[in-house]
Amino acid sequence: MTVATRHFDILLVGGGLSAGLIALALARYRPDVSVGIVEQGATFGGNHTWSSFASDLSPEGAELVAPIIAHRWPSYEIRFPSFSRQLHSGYQSAFSHRLHDALVAALPSEALILGTPVAAVTPTGVTLANQQTISAGAVLDARGQRASQHLELGFQKFVGLEVELEEPHGLEGPIIMDANVDQLDGYRFVYTLPFTATTAMIEDTYFADGLQLDRAAVAERVHAYARSQGWRIRRIIREEDGVLPMTIAGDIRAHLATIPEGVVPVGMAAALFHPATGYSFPDAVRLALHVAKLPNLNGAAIDRAVRDYAVEVWNTRSFYRLLNKMLFRAAYPHERRGILERFYGLSDPLVKRFYAGHSTIPDKIRVLTGKPPIPIPRAIRGILKG
């Protein structure tokens, strides 16, 4: 028989982005509630950078994440064969080691449980891999992205190298998309974040149909891109890779039902990411504030509220899934760059609202009308298929 060794009002299973932000928001707005986080890794947040547009966050959200933002830029650039453009919209990167430090500062040490895999999760507690148990009033499953048979997905996949260069790169801000590269495996572009005058994260990225990522080949393309820009790499500081979901269609209720009722799905596990990018930072900030402000923080109440919230967010995003239908179902892979090129020809405020998930009806009409990069009958077939 196992005995519960600890108890928390709220227990977060998995100590990544979403769990970390929920814990910070609870510490700030509900200091009366005891919160624990169990993470299998050695640090909270792993080894990540999380970037977002400044306009994706409310003032309150911006305040919550201020301690974990390491870099901010006032504008960013995009490059396509027919034009390059500066967009005057802030961009920022949060670092996972700052999330770890913020948690250590905000929560008591007994609440921060590292190096501890969780083996089983129920609405009232968890069993750890070492068979110890922790009981809780509410259990939140924050174990991140997972496969789901209820979501039809395309993928944003990438390999990024954070590099130190021999000489300054000369960039003043990020290049979010440099699509002036050979088109392979769907839409390919390079994403560069200049952290200091001589360091940058360079990611070779694909909007692709399949999950497969040849890490060595893609890392070599990062080196080739750096050479093409005249940048000589002195050393690799850090590497990251990802295969992120871009939702085309799905059944959100069935997806959420894969997590047992009473265990609260949060973060990527609740499909809280932008369908056009697979990025979840702004959603994680919004969810953290939403949870911290719930009137009732017992397990059943949080579960109901968060599932309703995830369905509501899903329902507001049908437009982005429609565009993914065009991108992944209707367009041939070699046509995808043309779709993005046309989109980035639209106005700054429209692009800003698109990534914040706040496209207006006139925005949607503007995105869908005009000279289509793919023939209309094929676009309609792609939308109706499935």
Nearer Cβ to ligand FAD, position 329 or 352?
Answer: 352
Instruction: Return the residue of 74, 115, 117, 375 that touches ligand FAD, per CB under 6 A.
Output: 117
Told to check if 134 binds ligand FAD by CB under 6 A, we report: no
Q: Which residues on adjacent β-strands are paired with residue 201?
A: 162, 193
The dihedral region occupied by 110, where left means phi > 0, alpha psi between -120 and 50, and beta the remainder, is alpha
Locate 127 and state its tokens. 């069993």
b/e 266-292 (16+ beta carbons within 10 angstroms → b) = bbbbbbbbbbbbbbbbbbbbbbbbbbb
Span interacting with ligand FAD, options 43-51, 177-185, 300-308, 341-349, rule CB under 6 A: 43-51
Shortest spacing between CB 224 and ligand FAD, in angstroms? 21
For residues 281 to 310, the per-residue mask of contacts with ligand FAD, x marking binding by CB under 6 A and - elsewhere, is: x--x--------------------------
Nearer Cβ to ligand FAD, position 40 or 180?
Answer: 40
Q: Which residues on adjacent β-strands are paired with residue 188?
A: 206
CA dihedral angle for residue 143, residue 145, residue 146, residue 150, rounded to 10 degrees: 120
CB atoms within 10 A of CB 209: 14
Span interacting with ligand FAD, options 36-44, 294-302, 309-317, 375-383, rule CB under 6 A: 36-44
Nearer Cβ to ligand FAD, position 70 or 184?
Answer: 70
Per the CB < 8 A criterion, the answer to whether 76 and 176 are in contact is yes
Told to check if 50 binds ligand FAD by CB under 6 A, we report: yes
Instruction: Return the residue of 244, 248, 305, 331 that touches ligand FAD, per CB under 6 A.
Output: 244
Shortest spacing between CB 376 and ligand FAD, in angstroms? 33
Span interacting with ligand FAD, options 101-109, 177-185, 234-242, 358-366, rule CB under 6 A: 234-242
Footprint of ligand FAD on 195-224 (CB under 6 A): none
Instruction: Return the residue of 67, 242, 262, 345 that touches ligand FAD, per CB under 6 A.
Output: 242
Give the number of C-alpha atoms closer than 13 A to the C-alpha of residue 245, restricted to the C-beta side: 24
Told to check if 239 binds ligand FAD by CB under 6 A, we report: no
Told to check if 18 binds ligand FAD by CB under 6 A, we report: yes
64 backbone dihedrals φ, ψ, rounded to 5°: -60, -40
Nearer Cβ to ligand FAD, position 19 or 379?
Answer: 19
Locate 3 and state its tokens. 């005995």
Count interface residues toward ligand FAD (CB under 6 A): 33
SS (H, E, C) 47-63: CCEEEEEHHHCCHHHHH
Nearer Cβ to ligand FAD, position 96 or 359?
Answer: 96
Shortest spacing between CB 117 and ligand FAD, in angstroms? 4
Instruction: Return the residue of 40, 58, 75, 180 that touches ligand FAD, per CB under 6 A.
Output: 40
Shortest spacing between CB 278 and ligand FAD, in angstroms? 6
Span interacting with ligand FAD, options 143-151, 247-255, 341-349, 373-381, rule CB under 6 A: 143-151
- DSSP-derived 3-state class of residue 217: helix
d(CA 163, CA 196): 10
Span interacting with ligand FAD, options 133-141, 207-215, 220-228, 278-286, rule CB under 6 A: 278-286
CB atoms within 10 A of CB 252: 21
53 backbone dihedrals φ, ψ, rounded to 5°: -80, 140
Instruction: Return the residue of 34, 52, 148, 359 that touches ligand FAD, per CB under 6 A.
Output: 52
Alpha helices in the chain (DSSP H): 17-29, 59-65, 96-106, 215-228, 252-256, 281-292, 299-315, 318-324, 336-343, 348-355, 361-368, 376-384
Of 25, 61, 48, 110, the closest CA to residue 288 belongs to 25
Instruction: Return the residue of 280, 307, 322, 328 that touches ligand FAD, per CB under 6 A.
Output: 280
Told to check if 122 binds ligand FAD by CB under 6 A, we report: no
Using CB under 6 A as the criterion, which residues of the chain lie in contact with ligand FAD when the complex forms? 14-19, 38-41, 46, 48-52, 117-118, 142-145, 240-242, 244, 267-268, 278-281, 284
